[in-house]
C-alpha cells in the first residue's frame, strides 16, 4: 500500500502529533508498506532514510513552539497522485488543500484529531474561539474518516463531524524487559537523584504554557509543607524552564526540585524505572505519550483531574494511580503523601499500569491503521 502522511511539523516536529505520526509511520513501514510524507521545513530535520519527506516553507509565530506550512499546490497534488490513501494529522490550510485534492482524485483521506480547543487557545487567546470552532466544523467534515487517540478524543471530535471516528492509540514502543544492567543503572541513578531522601517523584514533558508545568511547583510547595523526604525530578525543556527554575529558588525548594533538561531515551527509561510516582499536571491532553511511557515502565501515576484531559480517564480505567483536584493543592498533596506511605498500593498501581500500557503497543496501532485504510480503499473502489 502507498500511504501518504501530511503534517505541518514532523521529524522532529512539535508535541504529541509529531511523535505519534513518527510512530505510526514506523509501524506501517514494519508491515511492509511504502510511506511518503509532506511536512513543513524543520530547522534540523531528523527523518529516517526509509521515509521520503518533501518539505514545505513555514511560518513560525514569534515566541511559539509551533509552525504552519505553506500549502504548495504542486507538491500536494504530486503526493496525492502517488498515494493509495492519505493520512493528515494537523487541521491547517495544508490539510484543507490536501483534502480537497484527494477528493478530486478519488483518493481516500483521513484526518487525525490532535488539536484540542483548550490547547490551541492557550497559544492564541480565547478571542479566536468562535473562528476556531467554525474552522474545525469545516475541516473535520471533509475526510472519509477521523482518527482519534482515545475515546475521550473521539467524543470531542464528534462535536465537529458526522464522519466515522476511529480510536487508534498514538502508541508507544514498549520497552524490552529490564535486564540486570538496566536495573543496576536505574538504582544508581535513583540514589544519586534522591540525595538521601526517600521518595522519587518524576515528570517528563515539555515546559510550555499549554502543559501548565507550574502545577508541579504548586504540588512541590504543598508536599514540602507535609514532609521533607520527597524529591521531584523534572525532565524536559521549554520556554518556561528558566522561570520555573527561578521560582524553585524563590520558594526555597532548591533541594526538593531538580530540573534535568532534555534527556535521552535511555536516560528517560532509567528515570522512570527509578521513580516511585509519575506526576502529570497538564490540563489538556488527548492521550499523553509521556504518561503511557511512565506506565510502560511500571510507574504509578498521579494526574491532575482536569475535565479537559484524557489522562484522568486513562489512569482511572487502568487502575494505574490516582487523580487529584488541581484546584485543591493542599488536599492533592495529602493524597499523594498518603499514597507514598502505602507501598503495597503503589506496587498494585505499578503492575496495573504496566499491564494497561501493553494495550498501546505501536505495532498494534499500525495494524489498526492498515485495516482502516484497506476498508476505505475498498469502499472507494466500489463507488
- Contact assessment for residue 20 and residue 285, using Cβ atoms and an 8 Å cutoff: no
Reduce the DSSP state of residue 224 to 3 states and report it: helix
DSSP notation for 271-287? HHHH-SEEEE--S-BSS
Q: How many CA atoms lie within 13 A of 43 on its CB side?
A: 6
Is the domain of 156 the same as that of 197? no
- Count of structural domains within the chain: 2
CA–CA gap between residue 369 and residue 377 (Å, rounded) = 12
From CA 103, how far away is CA 182, in angstroms rounded?
50
Q: Count CB neighbours of 262 within 10 A.
A: 10
pLDDT at 293: 97
Diameter of the chain measured on Cα atoms: 68
In a shared domain, residues 69 and 160: yes
Q: Is 150 in the same domain as 191? A: no
pLDDT at residue 121, rounded to an integer: 65
3 state SS of 173: coil
Least Cα distance to 69 among 91, 45, 41 occurs for 41
| pTM (2 d.p.) | 0.93
Other CB atoms within 10 A of residue 77 CB: 16
Tell me whether residue 192 is exposed, middle or buried, using C-beta atoms within 10 angstroms of its C-beta: 0 to 12, 13 to 18, 19 or more: exposed
The answer to whether residues 366 and 330 belong to one domain is no
Between CA 135 and CA 127 the distance in angstroms is 14
pLDDT value of residue 237: 93
Per-residue pLDDT of the chain in tens (383 residues, 90 and over written 9) = 999 999 999 999 877 899 999 999 999 999 999 999 999 999 888 999 899 999 999 998 876 667 899 999 999 999 999 999 999 999 999 999 999 999 999 999 999 999 888 777 666 666 778 899 999 999 999 999 999 999 999 999 999 999 999 999 999 999 988 889 999 999 999 999 999 999 999 999 999 888 999 999 999 999 999 999 999 999 999 999 999 999 999 999 999 999 999 999 999 999 999 999 999 999 999 999 999 999 999 999 999 999 999 999 999 999 999 999 999 999 999 999 999 999 999 999 999 999 999 999 999 999 999 999 999 999 888 77
70 & 218 share domain: no
- Whether residue 297 sits in one domain with residue 243: yes
Same domain, 288 and 152: no
Angstrom distance (rounded) from CA 256 to CA 233: 9
Q: Are residues 240 and 368 in the same domain?
A: no
Residue 212 structural domain: 180-359
Same domain, 296 and 189: yes
pLDDT confidence of residue 349: 98
Tell the burial category of 205 from Cβ atoms under 10 Å away from its Cβ (0-12, 13-18, 19+).
buried
* Beta strand segments in 129-196, E: 145-148, 165-167
Handedness of CA 370, 374, 375, 380 (dihedral sign): positive
**Helix, strand and coil percent figures for the chain, each rounded to 5:** 50, 20, 35
Q: Could you give the C-alpha distances from 279 to 2, 151, 203, 290, 315, in angstroms and in order?
A: 40, 22, 5, 10, 11
3-state secondary structure of 191: helix
Distance, CA of 150 to CA of 187 (rounded, Å): 34
137 with 185, same domain: the answer is: no
259 in the same domain as 135: no
Check which CATH number belongs to the domain holding 24 and give it. Answer: 3.40.50.2000
Q: What integer pLDDT is reported at residue 199 of this predicted model?
A: 98
Residues 78, 31 share a domain? yes
Amino acid at each position: 500500500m502507498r500511504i501518504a502522511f501530511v503534517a505541518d511539523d514532523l521529524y522532529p516536529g512539535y508535541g504529541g502529533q509529531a511523535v505519534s505520526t513518527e510512530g505510526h509511520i514506523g509501524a506501517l513501514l514494519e508491515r511492509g508498506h511504502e510511506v511518503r510524507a509532506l511536512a513543513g521545513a524543520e530547522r534540523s530535520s531528523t527523518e529516517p532514510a526509509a521515509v521520503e519527506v518533501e518539505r514545505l516553507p513555514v511560518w513560525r509565530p514569534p515566541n511559539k513552539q509551533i509552525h504552519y506550512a505553506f500549502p504548495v499546490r504542486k507538491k500536494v497534488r504530486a503526493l496525492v497522485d502517488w498515494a493509495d490513501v492519505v493520512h493528515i494529522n494537523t487541521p491547517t490550510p495544508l490539510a484543507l488543500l490536501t483534502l480537497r485534492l484527494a477528493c478530486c482524485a478519488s483518493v481516500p483521506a483521513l484526518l487525525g484529531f490532535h488539536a484540542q480547543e483548550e490547547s490551541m487557545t492557550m497559544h492564541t487567546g480565547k478571542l479566536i474561539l468562535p473562528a476556531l470552532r467554525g474552522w474545525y466544523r469545516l475541516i473535520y467534515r471533509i475526510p472519509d474518516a477521523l482518527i482519534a487517540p482515545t475515546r475521550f478524543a473521539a467524543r470531542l471530535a464528534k462535536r465537529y463531524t458526522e464522519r466515522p471516528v476511529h480510536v487508534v492509540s498514538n502508541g508507544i514502543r514498549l520497552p524490552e524487559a529490564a535486564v540486570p544492567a538496566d536495573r543496576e543503572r536505574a538504582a544508581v541513578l535513583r540514589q544519586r537523584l534522591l540525595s538521601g531522601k526517600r521518595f522519587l517523584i518524576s515528570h517528563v514533558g515539555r515546559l510550555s504554557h499549554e502543559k501548565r508545568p507550574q502545577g508541579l511547583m504548586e504540588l512541590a510547595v504543598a508536599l514540602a509543607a507535609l514532609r521533607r523526604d520527597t524529591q521531584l525530578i523534572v525532565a524536559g525543556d521549554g520556554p518556561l524552564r528558566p522561570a520555573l527554575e527561578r521560582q524553585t529558588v524563590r520558594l526555597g525548594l532548591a533541594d526538593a526540585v531538580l530540573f534535568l533538561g532534555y534527556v535521552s531515551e535511555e536516560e528517560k527509561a532509567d528515570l522512570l524505572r527509578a521513580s516511585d510516582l509519575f506526576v502529570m499536571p497538564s490540563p489538556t491532553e488527548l492521550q499523553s505519550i509521556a504518561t503511557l511511557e511512565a506506565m510502560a515502565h511500571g510507574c504509578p501515576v498521579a494526574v491532575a483531574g482536569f475535565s479537559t484531559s484524557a489522562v484522568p480517564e486513562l489512569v482511572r480505567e487502568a487502575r494505574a494511580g490516582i487523580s487529584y483536584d488541581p484546584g485543591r493543592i493542599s488536599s492533592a498533596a495529602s493524597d499523594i503523601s498518603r499514597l507514598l506511605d502505602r507501598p503495597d498500593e503503589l506496587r498494585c498501581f505499578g503492575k496495573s499500569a504496566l499491564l494497561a500500557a501493553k494495550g498501546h503497543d505501536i505495532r498494534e496501532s499500525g495494524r489498526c491503521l492498515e485495516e482502516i485504510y484497506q476498508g476505505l480503499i475498498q469502499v472507494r473502489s466500489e463507488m
